[in-house]
Chain A
Amino acid sequence: MKKIKPYNEKRHRGKHRELLSFRSDIGLNISDPVAAPPYSFIRTLITIVSALSSVFMIEGFLSSEFTVTATLQIFICIVLTSVSVLMISSETLFLKITGSIYLILNTVFLITQMKSAVSGMIYTVYSYAKKARLSIPLLSSYITENAAEDVNTCFITLAFLSALTISLACIYRTNFPLLFICTFPVFELGAFWGWEPYTWTLGGMLSSWIVILSLNLINHTTKKKGSKNTFAIYAKKKAFYMTNEKIKSRFFSAGGFFALMVTLCSFTVCMLFVSATDNYRPESFKQLRRDISNGFDEMTQKLSEGTSIIAPKFPGRGRMIGGINGGRLGHYDKISFSGITALRVTASEEFDAPMYLRGYSGEYYHDNSWDPIKLDEDVADQLKEDGDGLSVLDLGYVVLENIYGKLNDRSVTIKVINASSDVMYAPYNTDYTKAEKLGSQKYDGIAKIKSKEYTLNYFYEDLPDWSEIEESLLGTMSRSYGNFSYNYEEQFYGLDMPEGLEKYGNSVYERSEYTQIPDDIYDTINAIGYGIGLSHTKSAEYNAELIKDYFDSEGFYYTTEPGVTPADEDFIQYFLKKQKKGYCTYFASAGTMLMRYAGYPARYVEGYVIESDQYVSSDRSIRVSDRSAHAWCEVYLDGIGWYPIEFTPGYDYGNPNLTDEERNIGKTPEDSSKSSTSSKNNNNSGNDNRSAAQTTDRSQADRNESRSSLSSERTGSSSAANDSAADNSSASESAAAGLFGTGSGGNGTSLITITPQMIYTAAALIFVILFAAAAAVRRRSHLEKTREIISGDPSKAVIACYMGYQKYLNIAGITFSDNISDAEFSKKIYKQLLKYGEGKGEGTAQKFSKLSELAVTVYMGAAEADDEDAEFSRSALEDIKNMVYEKLGRLQRFTAKWIHNLY
């Protein structure tokens, strides 16, 4: 829409005169009336359609399924609001006042119901978050028992507000950007998650956009307020644009109607096409979809990395993926998962047990964080001297290679998407040396790689169970457990290990960081460790089970909302003594410390855990989302190397945070159930029967609820109560808020409860009746008054007849908005009447000329009219009244009668 500057002729005279000067207006005359519904009808219809589409689109996205009553209430609200705004924008005072009264009353009503509306809004947002699998726990604490019933009030409020704002864009102004801003976010809220709206709402929204856009493109206005120009000139381009509101609205009725018809036809054709083709999608689009998604993920990751200014102190820090943050503990109130892709993994073969991808490891615990320690220099030098290019991380692979030879070397390709690329992710028993572009190792337990996509070889679990390996290796070990020294020669029992790795094995015991328990928490660790019987005389597995049993028996449970560790508290101590709830980092940290107490060098590890269900056999790929981020403990076992131990409840057989979709991608239901009973796991401690979590006994399908279910089974969690209340209320959603609802305790009683919605509907009906009555009374009084004046004093009668004549001309469409004299006006009307009246036009036109002369004479001069003049005036008025009535359509007769009070 252009604002046009009116052409100032004076400004264009003078020194730099144009060769030709154009008058700032163009005269326009349209011969025939436009055969189309009035523009006011079109824009009200668009408003109603658009508002209904918006509100019911939300309903469709949330699958709320309103009752018939609720639907009717929303419809009434939208229609009345739109019509009220139309009435306010009209020129008739009566309509303006009526429209304003309705809007005020509606606003007052909704203000009184504000609490209910807000409650309903919270519930709606909660439903939305739940459907989108967003974790907004704060909401659930605000959900009340009646929240589901308040949804209707919320939607009525929403309907009112959307109708009001959309009517500003369609009725008060013709403004496409405003309409788009009001309606597009509604569509986007659902489309973002891939939800399907109701087809008619999509059609309604698209149609309203197209109609308003097409009118907006030609809706030029002029800056000069009150300008009566038909056209205004845009001086720079020497172009005239139509700016007259009356003429524009005459055209908009035809143009808008046409645009509406075109869009409806087009949408109908589209619907027929879609249903005929049954929503055809080429197969190649699936791959294209994945490629585009990956590309987008990569791009966002690059952007986010590119914009980070301060390099993290340790690798892996600075990026919080699923709550894992490079060993920093207790800083977050809760963690939430967005489902973002962290890694894309391609495995050469399927695997039965969860695959642990280790990335970050922290050995030195202090100030509520696990920091990595640097690789021992002597070890590093020795490894270099060995000349094999080995890394300390190759220990597991080398041990197994020595024991079992080259067996079952599988490969896995890891592509880092949104995870931190500061660390390298690899499964256990990986041959790090063979990885291309491996970076130099700076930290003891962390590898770096110079590529975001790399392929690794690793040993798989076709090997004997870990417990068997452990037995065979540990059976003949002898150690001096008091001071953690051991017999170097006996360490690997004849295994041909490179000297560097042997030296590394020594250093693990020699370095205090692996065995260190900070003084300020020693008492707590000691009390627990001693109490449960942790001892270095027992195997690592046994000690780990004791720790897990302790967690279980003391009521420790898994939650993603444990709360922030107070500033003056140690993370592990606070967890063990007071908190007793948390997610993987809590259990892994505490477990690590307790294993150290048991005499084992232990460290804290972060990475990702992949369930076998996530494997897609068609393309051997696994989408690893942030839900797979995990932390666990590693202990050092002589002769074996670093061995992972799972302390987090629920993780024994997989990842309880995964969604069904992630778990079942590309899998059949049989495959899913098979993987849930897997027992062999080369990365697992083998504690298949000793899990603190009750979810190990649950089926696959329940795992999504394990987090919230665990919460709900524990006492004292307010969010759990709200979750369950919300869950219960969802079952009653469909029955909520009927006219005869059970309210707070109905349960099928026969009492009729008056709800706010009933009051609203009744009030709306009463308002409409009152409006009709007021219109009737107004009409009667106006006609009476007019009759009195016309039959009274002759001079007043002449003027009244003349004014009345113009009103009839107005509704006949014979008007001139130009600023012209009465005489000129009279001439123009004369010509128009000749045309309008057809056969009778001349007589009518002549009568009008005489009437206008009389009126001007009486009005301006001192002379008074006589009875004859008055009689003539009445007759002229009667003539035009009848002539106009014959030519009016039904709707026009209705408005002439009830709005303009002319009949």
Chain B
Amino acid sequence: MIFIYIFLLLVSALFYILYEGAASLLILCFFVITPIIIIVSNFIASKKIKLHIATRGQQFSAGQNIPVYLTLTSNTIIPVMCAEITIEYKSSTDPSTEKIKINTPIFPNNEQDLQICFSSEHYGVINCRIARIRLYDMLRISHFKLPKGSVTENVRELIVIPEPVLLENPITVYSDSLADSDSYSDSKAGDDPSEIFSIHEYADGDKLSKIHWKLTAKQDKLMVKDYSLPLANHFMILTDCCLDKASKEQRLNSFDTVIRSAFSLSFYLQQCGSRHTIAFFNNKTGSAESVTVADEEDCLEACLRIISAGIPPKSGLALRELLSNDELQPRYSHFIFIAARADEELLSALSNCGIAKRYTVITNGSPSENVYGENFTVIGSGGDMEKVLSEIYL
């Protein structure tokens, strides 16, 4: 409109030159004075308007509506014909920033609430902020930005987490496995003689090998000791979300599949009371991290951390780091590697590393099941991860 206005101004100036009479001067003055008044009023209005952005809630599932609330407060009698609010959204899984614009008039001496809803089909952490707000005058000749002080934010990170797949797989009891552990159960006795769980009087059925002879001698009655149950992390779930040489859509889908699979497994294991570890590569720190999951809270935290970690730049980084670590590694009963893709070299290294008794590798590749030895299985989900998870041997 500014160009149209300039054109009209030139035409009115030409009209003033060519036509004698008051009308031509009136028109010229009108075209000069009116925009000045409009711009000044717009400027005044921009000083009296405030914008507040807020979000409620933090965790959402994929496809769920995520509301963002905008509150425009106007303390002036001057209405603003068009305010263009640009909101920026950024997801942890995508380096690019998405913007949307909202063109709304601002009512004078009023407060107006806008509620924008969006949803994400992919898991990840979403941040949103006000990029800018422009107030246009009534003829769109000029615009003013709201000063930064007029814009307040109460926005938290919005995390889109998966719904776990409901599993009913039988879980192998790995009590005689080589899994290491430094912690013992407080509620349950076990077979680890290094730690005594409890001592009680002999009752029928107790093993004679568990008689605490010293105490028996002292107390003049037969006392039996129970050994502690070591809380071993029998399961290790390692995730690798990266899919090399793929489109953005494929990478995101792969990420979603891996996250959901890991989360589903972890959730199920936790529900069954099975402690486990989840490991992943953190894109932000540039190194592998792990979380021990003992309860639901840990499970959720692990999921959030994997999502926050983002997509690694290359595949196999976490596994390589794990395998190359010279320090004494804990040993697991069952090592589950969930990856978008796994090359032969890595698989071979994994099978020979001796971290666990059993290895299961689940990939997004074409459906297949290959057994490379007694306890090493590679499963291609073929896009149907839910089916694979429901049939996996834990």
- Chain A interface (Cβ < 8 Å from any Cβ of B): 13, 15-23, 26-32, 34-35, 191, 194, 196-197, 199, 202, 206, 210, 213-214, 217-218, 220, 231, 237-242, 250-251, 254-255, 258-259, 262-263, 265-267, 269-271, 273-274, 277, 279-281, 285, 288-289, 292-293
Contact = CB atoms under 8 A, between A and B. Distances in A.
Interface stretch (B95-103, B183-191, B258-266): B95-103
Contacts of A269: 29, 33
B110 interface: yes
A267 B26 CA distance: 8
Contacts of B20: 194, 281
A234 B351 CA distance: 55
B78 A274 contact: no
B15 to A, nearest CB: 8
B366 interface: no
B19 A191 contact: yes
Given A242-B103, A242-B104, A266 B34 contact: yes
A288 B17 CA distance: 7
B100 A16 contact: no
A32 B111 contact: yes
B25 A279 contact: yes
Contacts of B110: 30-32, 34
A242 B80 CA distance: 14
A26 B115 contact: yes
Given A32-B109, A270-B33, A285-B17, A210 B22 contact: no
A15 B252 CA distance: 12
Interface residues of B, number: 60
Contacts of A20: 89, 91, 98, 118-120, 126
Given A32-B110, A255-B81, A270-B33, A202 B18 contact: no
B236 to A, nearest CB: 31
B174 interface: no
Given A15-B249, A30-B112, A196-B23, A218 B29 contact: no
B26 A274 contact: yes
Contact of B17 (A13, A197, A254, A292): A292
B209 to A, nearest CB: 63
A689 B146 CA distance: 86
A547 to B, nearest CB: 46
Interface in B1-60: 1, 14-15, 17-23, 25-27, 29-30, 33-34, 37-38, 41
A214 B138 CA distance: 5
B115 A213 contact: no
Nearest to B115: A27
Contacts of A240: 100-104, 116
Contact of A21 (B1, B94, B118): B118
The prevalent SS among residues of B at the interface is mixed
B244 interface: no
Contact of B107 (A251, A263, A266, A273): A251
Contacts of A13: 121
A258 B79 contact: yes
A27 B139 contact: no
A258 B22 contact: no
A266 B37 contact: yes
Residue among A238, A263, A271, A274 facing the most chain B CB atoms (10 A cut-off): A274
A13 B63 CA distance: 11
Contacts of A271: 26
A267 B27 CA distance: 9
B112 A29 contact: yes
A23 B66 CA distance: 10
A635 to B, nearest CB: 45
A274 B114 contact: no
A288 B18 CA distance: 8
A265 B41 CA distance: 13
B122 interface: yes
Given A29-B113, A237-B101, A21 B119 contact: yes
A238 B100 CA distance: 5
Contacts of B122: 19
A46 to B, nearest CB: 14
A273 B22 contact: no
B105 interface: yes
B151 interface: no
B58 to A, nearest CB: 17
Given A20-B98, A266-B37, A274-B26, A258 B78 contact: yes
Given A20-B89, A218-B82, A238-B99, A289 B38 contact: no
A197 B21 CA distance: 10
A269 B20 CA distance: 20
A206 B30 contact: yes
A30 B103 CA distance: 16
B108 interface: yes
Given A26-B114, A292-B18, A210 B102 contact: no
Contacts of B101: 237-240
B275 interface: no
Contacts of A267: 26, 30
B134 to A, nearest CB: 12
B212 interface: no
Contacts of A30: 107, 110-112
Contact of A210 (B34, B99, B100): B34
Nearest to A263: B34
A239 B82 CA distance: 13
B98 A19 contact: yes
Residue among B15, B26, B116, B117 facing the most chain A CB atoms (10 A cut-off): B26
Contact of B118 (A22, A213, A255, A265): A22
B18 A289 contact: yes
A258 B116 contact: no
Contacts of A15: 249
B73 to A, nearest CB: 9
Given A28-B114, A218-B82, A254 B26 contact: no
Interface in B128-186: 138-140
Contacts of B138: 214, 217, 255, 258-259, 262
B279 to A, nearest CB: 27
A262 B118 contact: no
A788 to B, nearest CB: 41
B33 A262 contact: no
